[in-house]
Structure 1
Amino acid sequence: MKRWLVLGGSGFVGRALCEQLVDQHGGGGVRITVPTRRRAHAQHLLPLPTVDVVEASVHDEKALMRLLAGVDAVVNLVAILHGSKDEFEHAHVGLPQRLAAACVRAGVRRVVHVSALGVPDDPASAPSNYLRTKAAGELALRAAGLDLTVLRPSVIFGAHDRFLNLFARLQAAFPVVPLAGSDARFQPVWVGDVARAIARCLADPTTAGQTYECVGPQVYTLKELVEMAGRFSGHPRRVVPVPGWVGRAQAFAMSVLPGEPLMSKDNLDSMQVPNVATGRWPGLPALGVAPTPVTSIAPIYLRGGHAGGEQLDDWRSRAGR
């Protein structure tokens, strides 16, 4: 019986990963532990037969050591898109540092870490707190001498995403969408493909020491993706690019309001780096995963046709539908 620990397993990518792993190993042989501060946040994982949801803080060193006891491999999915400089440091640097040290002490060598596309070799050269701390987190794990695989995805889409769904809701509510960073380029990747890639890395020890760029087959500007979200959801609206200074003023205004901002100044800084494959590292095909076009998945969930699990297409094909 193998035991895998998934940090951040109750989130968007974690949900798809747990579904994927249960789909592959539901008959036994693998046990998956997902820690969460509040069990209620992982209600959607409770029906999965080989997933154990445990209340624990992964930022607590003693709790992390207990979670690592008897574990064969760790997947780190913990990440934030918005926050202060200290919050980015806490999530993207502090946790990888603690995880690396705890893995060494616990004798757990195998780690799969999900980072981000656009991460530079030198953290100091990054234009945003997000990319800088993501780079520093990678370095912390690499320095520990672990059997480490790093995945760097572009923006991830799927039924439970906070990207295309958010822009679709905005266009349902407003007649015009002013958009900063409209020319920023992305290569969106389906969450189901990212989950398959992680599962493949867990199953294949030869992926240790490798970095993979996880991207879809097509490059889009942010404006094209926003327009796509409106069109697929049945609420196409006019998308109006705005100058950078206007976008930064909007971002500042939203940062002082309650709730998660639509776009922060740090997001705008991150978009200075094209979120597309560099070609320096192998991609999804090297892991046996054929990238799925956004146009074949997004219309299903944006139209409200199905808001369930990310394995929808797999299950349909197996049922002959």
Structure 2
Amino acid sequence: MTDTLASTPLRRILVLGGTGFVGRAFAAAWRQGDGAATLVVPSRRPARAKALSLLPGVERVGADVNDPATLRALLTGCDAVVNLVAVLHGDAARFEQVHVELPRRLLAACAETGVRRVVHVSALGIEDDPSRPAPSLYLASKTRGERLLSEAGAASLIDLTVLRPSVIFGTGDRFLNLFAALQALMPVVALAGATARFQPVWVDDVAHALATCLREPGRSVGQVFEATGPEVLTLAQLVRRAGRWSGHRRPIVALPDWAGRLQAAALGLLPGEPLMSADNLASMKVPNVASGRHPGLEALGRRPSRMVDVMAPHLSRGPQVLDQLRRLAGR
């Protein structure tokens, strides 16, 4: 089956979530290679895809992918689909809609349109053992969504590749840039989940891995890849790096678990997307690091980049920190 895939040229690729942080990087990575296929990027708010307008071969479409008929129409004529859609915050219904129901609708649309090639971005912390419950709504819903696709792949209904990244950093991220902005704003950082462990990965490394999965199905179909960087760091260490590199290093006060839960509850009452939620804290109880049960980016020919090489020069320039401060202020 992979021999047939390898000999089939990709002409059109549907990219769900293509207007987001990873999606924009993937579109750029695809164009840097020899990818001649058109990338179809739907969004309910086409203005969000404005950054993609400068890239050749990107077709922006105003569409709601949660509508089954619309999703089926988008897939018609495509040779592959990349699913990048995910949310970090919300209630149980929201997580279920995005992480479980969308993959379910995607499977149905693939069956109706004959699209077999699916590349799905999941998350580290997914439990391969279905008997072990996930500690958070986020991880539980990501597990169920990935499992739906994996079962379809095992049944040869689709040709599936799964990437499980750790937290993703890069220019324009809402992770290190946010912590840099907070330290520019506050004299002290009261930090919940300070000892949580991560293995951050550069967005360009993830993007190029996705492109390789599509170009080289022979070594990616049926595989789960753990997309991680070269370092394991605690949240406190990451916050310190963000402050040091941006020139706004502040003292960090690690909150005990009970205080962290109170902080998350208070942040959840504020308008807009919370900086930290109780569900985020629950997710961080699972180390966000490679398990070693699956191959890493090296298996896709990509050597993960060091965070200092990417983020130190970026944060030292400051514009993204200012942008984050404006967002925090609601401007």
| Separation in 2, partners of 1:257, 1:305 | 26
Q: Which of 12, 32, 37 is 2:21 aligned to?
A: 12
Specify the alignment match of 1:162 in structure 2.
174
- Identify if the C-alpha distance between structure 1 residues 124 and 62 changes in structure 2 by more than 3 Å, giving closer, same or farther: farther
Alignment of 1:277-292 (within 5 A): 277-292=290-305
What amino acid is aligned across from residue 293 of structure 2 in structure 1? R
Alignment of 1:198-237 (within 5 A): 198-206=210-218, 207-237=220-250
Residue 157 of structure 2 is aligned to residue 139 of structure 1:
no
Q: Which of 111, 114, 130 is 2:118 aligned to?
A: 111
| Separation in 2, partners of 1:143, 1:34 | 26
Specify the alignment match of 1:263 in structure 2.
276
> Unaligned stretches of 5+ in structure 1?
308-321
What amino acid is aligned across from residue 77 of structure 1 in structure 2? L
Asked whether the equivalents of residues 189 and 291 of structure 1 are also in contact (C-alpha less than 8 Å), the reply is yes
Summarize deviations over 1:121-144 as a string: whole Å, max 9, x none: 228610000100000001111222
| Separation in 1, partners of 2:34, 2:95 | 34
SS at structure 2 position matched to 1:218: coil
Specify the alignment match of 1:314 in structure 2.
none
Q: Which of 243, 262, 286 is 1:249 aligned to?
A: 262
- Root mean square deviation, CA, Å: 1.2
Alignment of 1:1-321 (within 5 A): 2-25=11-34, 29-121=36-128, 122=130, 125-144=133-152, 145-206=157-218, 207-304=220-317
| Separation in 2, partners of 1:123, 1:81 | 24
Aligned length: 305
| Separation in 2, partners of 1:123, 1:35 | 36
State which drifts further: 141-150 or 224-233: 141-150
| Separation in 2, partners of 1:133, 1:182 | 24
> Unaligned stretches of 5+ in structure 2?
1-9, 321-331
| Separation in 1, partners of 2:53, 2:124 | 31
| Separation in 2, partners of 1:66, 1:254 | 40
What amino acid is aligned across from residue 117 of structure 1 in structure 2? L
TM-score with structure 2 length normalisation?
0.90
What amino acid is aligned across from residue 314 of structure 2 in structure 1? Y
Over the matched positions of the two proteins, sequence identity in percent amounts to 57
Summarize deviations over 1:24-60 as a string: whole Å, max 9, x none: 147xx31110000011111101111110110001111
Asked whether the equivalents of residues 158 and 298 of structure 1 are also in contact (C-alpha less than 8 Å), the reply is yes
Asked whether the equivalents of residues 123 and 135 of structure 1 are also in contact (C-alpha less than 8 Å), the reply is no
